[in-house]
A and B are shown apart, each in its own frame.
Chain A
Amino acid sequence: MKNQKILYLMSVPVVIYVFIFNYLPVWGWTMAFQNYRPGRSFSEQEWVGFEHFIALFQDNHFYLVLRNTLVMSVMLLIAGFIIPIIFAVLLNELKDSLFKRSVQTISYLPHFVSWVVVASIVTKMLSTDGGIVNEVLVSLNILDKPVQFMAQGHLFWLIVTVADVWKEMGWNSIIFLAAMAGIDPQLYEAARVDGAGRWRRIWHVTLPGIRPTIMVILILSIGNMISIGFERQLLLGNSLVREYSEVLELYALNYGIGMGRYSYGTAISIFNSIVSIILLLLANGLFKRLTKTSVM
């Protein structure tokens, strides 16, 4: 103990810090079961049980928000998971390493800018005056006249998904490319000798080679899928597309902090967390059974 004093001094403050900033907010979940009033001590709070959860489930708006959250989660999960794999596979097939490196470097670029910047760029690209998307679509005669994409509720989910893929595709492909670099080149040679073409080599060598990585990333993404946050929705949304853009976290933000209904906002956050945990456990259990790989 004595000779490890310095190691304790170096780590215990961080543990205290983690308790305050990460564990105390979880203690705050008790607020959802109270009629929380700021300024009162914990023992003075009025306990109301599941009242706020019942109110939540009786609110019609909640189901709209839940729908938006689930649909966007699934779209972001599928696109944000599959497209980086395809991109990594295709990138891996490039023989020219300078070109390969250039594509890779350029594809990371959007990852480094904020969602604020991405929202600014997306709005510009989709605008009716001078937005490249409208110009291309009109000149190809796909559209008769420019469309105000950002004002179309039914396009909002697609816009968020495409923006997300644009921003994170390159970055998310790093891990798959790294896994591909670890595949034994002799396997490719052997497949070639056996007469396997490009697609067969991808199908029978590359994809099985990165299967463990795919599994881990998939399970992690499923665990995070409902916690999609509110950043994208808040920045890309506007009053015209609200019915499609509002998600659970945004709902918690508006009610919890905006209107000062702290207990209700906390109940929304708890609901959000519980659904994520259930999804994570389900996914993990499923994959354990199917593939004998597990992250937990």
Chain B
Amino acid sequence: MFKLNRKKSTLFQTSTTEKLFDITNYVLMAFIIVIMLYPFLNVLAISLNDSTDTVRGGIYIFPREFTLENYRVIMEYDSLLIGFRNSVLRTVIGTVLGLFVCSMVAYTLSRQDFQARNVISVIIVLTMFFSGGLVPTYMLMRDLGLINTFAIYILPLLASAWNIIIIRSFMDGLPLALQESAKVDGANDFTIYWKIILPICKPVLATIALFIAVMQWNMWFDTYIYNSANPALTTLQYELMKILQNTTASTGAGIDSVRGSGAEAATRVSPESIRMAITIVTIVPILLVYPFLQRYFVKGMTLGAIK
């Protein structure tokens, strides 16, 4: 390793400015790691620390008095459990259905021989450049009877032009012979899509699944705008948002919303520990998946944006 470097340096005369550049760059990158990671570690540490002890301050990346009490308390907070359930449900259903719808239409658009291909492409691509805006969309949802229903978490988000284009670009690169041989064997178009195309599209489907899942899991403002009147349809993000808004508006108000879980608990648990524990619960599911899918989405992003 060192020898190689030295050899290079005689060839190209690595100057001191080059070395200085490298050192500065490494330091800067290390600093970026710290900035990206510290907030998460700090939140985790506070969520795992005894809440009365936390008030004394000085918790950085390790809890001082370790406890799982904060998590036990939020488990008793009914709205959070309902919210968690709804968030999981909308993520799973939304991802599966969204993947199905987007890939199915993408397949028809990748078929060079499909007559309506250009018309449908234009209709779908155009949606990327305009939207009706907040109020008309709200009125539409109301007219469709979707307000205060679970369906509003799934239906409006099913087909996304961006996702369709990415899947289609991937399908465009597949060899045509595959489909033709299946056709000779008598398979119909849906069978070809379902049995032949989908299995080879796994990399791009994994990418899109991650995109949809992240979007679904992180969504809060549809609950805020459409479903805030119905506690049974709350989502985890929305619950966190409510607690956050309460504590920033006037410190202390947040405690009241948590106090429902028992007066005894409220005396021992500060809103900050609660907030941090909920924050962690909200982060963890997504963070568990993304490192595994990274190699796919880097490819997927590139494909989608360059084409």
Contacts and interface: CB of A to CB of B under 8 A. Distances in A.
Contacts, number: 253
A contact residues, range: 35 or more
Interface string B38-51: 11101100100000
A12 B137 CA distance: 22
Contacts of B107: 10
Interface in A243-282: 249, 252-253, 256-257, 262, 265-266, 269-270, 272-273, 277, 280
Interface stretch (B10-18, B70-78, B169-177, B198-206): B10-18
Contact of B57 (A19, A114, A130, A197): A130
A113 B282 contact: yes
A94 B134 contact: no
Given A28-B140, A120-B244, A249 B134 contact: yes
A107 B294 CA distance: 12
A6 B190 contact: yes
A3 to B, nearest CB: 9
A231 B221 contact: yes
B158 interface: yes
B133 A7 contact: no
Contacts of B290: 108-109, 112
A112 B287 contact: yes
Interface in B214-241: 214, 217-221, 225, 237, 240-241
Given A105-B294, A129-B57, A262-B135, A116 B116 contact: no
B248 interface: yes
Contact of A109 (B40, B134, B156, B217): B40
Nearest to B15: A197
Interface residues of B, number: 95
A178 B301 contact: yes
B133 A90 contact: no
Given A113-B282, A197-B15, A257-B225, A10 B131 contact: no
A137 interface: no
Interface in A1-37: 1, 4, 6-12, 14-15, 17-29, 31
A166 B36 contact: yes
A183 to B, nearest CB: 14
A4 B114 contact: yes
Contact of A106 (B33, B214, B241): B33
Contact of A124 (B144, B221, B276, B294): B276
B6 interface: no
A269 B42 contact: no
Contacts of A102: 33
Interface in B244-301: 244-245, 247-249, 272, 275-276, 279, 282-283, 286-287, 290-291, 294, 298, 301
Interface string B126-167: 010111111111111010100000000001101100000000
A170 interface: yes
Contacts of A257: 134-135, 138, 225
Interface of B: 12, 15, 17-18, 21-22, 25-26, 28-29, 32-33, 35-40, 42-43, 46, 54-55, 57-60, 101, 104-105, 107-109, 111, 113-116, 120, 123-124, 127, 129-140, 142, 144, 155-156, 158-159, 188-190, 193, 214, 217-221, 225, 237, 240-241, 244-245, 247-249, 272, 275-276, 279, 282-283, 286-287, 290-291, 294, 298, 301-302, 305-306
A198 interface: yes
B135 A256 contact: yes
A238 interface: yes
Nearest to B5: A95
Nearest to B57: A130
Contacts of A266: 133, 135-136
Given A6-B188, A120-B279, A31 B136 contact: yes
Nearest to B249: A238
Contacts of B17: 197-198
Nearest to A103: B29
